[in-house]
Structure 1
């Protein structure tokens, strides 16, 4: 599988992500490549990236991403990302402006999909996708992108 070739369908994303991280244990390198892959493979997204857990202050801190500059720190349990982290559940939000406590890093974002990154049962970060379109992310998107996140969960162990 060529890294220069984008997946022809959504279903190819997990395999492409697996190929990108194969043989590489550096967390930042893998997250950066997967953010770029997904950002360029999906239509109608304006931000794709990762927030990583800072255990000292129990916040999510901005990691590798594609898109406009973003919020640097998100409190655990706050906003869509913080809720996904605190509950260890996928958050698929059709209209972020209707989500109580939403943190508006980019006012152009209208819908959001956030998938917790789990390592040995602990949330170590989140995989965050934003779109300028209401209800952009389907349940199928959530399933496939969770499979992409699972590639990282098992392949990424060190910084």
Structure 2
């Protein structure tokens, strides 16, 4: 299946899953489970939420993870600092990479913004394979994040 068709299907599944629920915690928990179940060759999928100047662990699937990441540190913190999604082919070559799981080799991180433009946190997906993620994955996952954001009653602060 082409990446475009895969993400059309995945995002349709997310819409169905969230159609009768608006709770952000329940929705991020189910979203991480859906990602972990459907995307091949990943070892972690989940969320970090912004609290002041650090990201704190949210719902996820995979091995235990770092619970707090300073803004600007690692791939997740860099995505928040830049305000841009990051696709990292080899995390071990990324300056300041935080090895929550030494097996992770590539990563894609999507910052999450509310309707007023405030960063709420990030969607983070890791793979044990160098170069696992493509630009098509990045675009598909940005669409996934947008569905999640519009389908959830997000925290106010």
Q: Deviations over 1:102-145 (max 9, x none)?
A: 00000000000000111021110100000000000010011111
Give runs of ≥4 in structure 1 deviating > 4 Å. none
User: Are 2:115 and 1:106 equivalent residues in the alignment?
Assistant: no
Mapped to 2, the partners of 1:68 and 1:12 lie a distance apart of 26
- Alpha-carbon displacement from aligned partner over 1:78-98 (angstroms, at most 9, x marks no partner): 110001112111100000000
Shift of 1:16: 1.1
Relative to 1, partners in 2 of residues 1:158 and 1:118: Cα closer, same or farther, differing over 3 Å? closer
Structure 1 residue runs without a partner (length 5+): 1-7
- Alignment partners' CA distance in 2, 1:68 and 1:43: 16
Gaps of at least 5 residues in structure 2 are none
Equivalent pairs counted in the alignment come to 150
- Quick one: distance in 1 between partners of 2:110 and 2:33? 17
User: With structure 2 as the length reference, what TM-score do the two structures score?
Assistant: 0.91
Distance 1:124 1:134 in 2: 28
Structural RMSD (CA): 1.2
Partner of 1:83 in structure 2?
78
* Corresponding residue of 1:54: 51
Equivalent residues of 2:114, 2:154 under 8 A apart: no
Q: How far 1:158 moved relative to its partner?
A: 3.5
Which of 120, 127, 136 matches 1:124? 120
**Secondary structure of the structure 2 residue equivalent to 1:9:** helix
Q: TM-score, normalised by structure 1?
A: 0.90
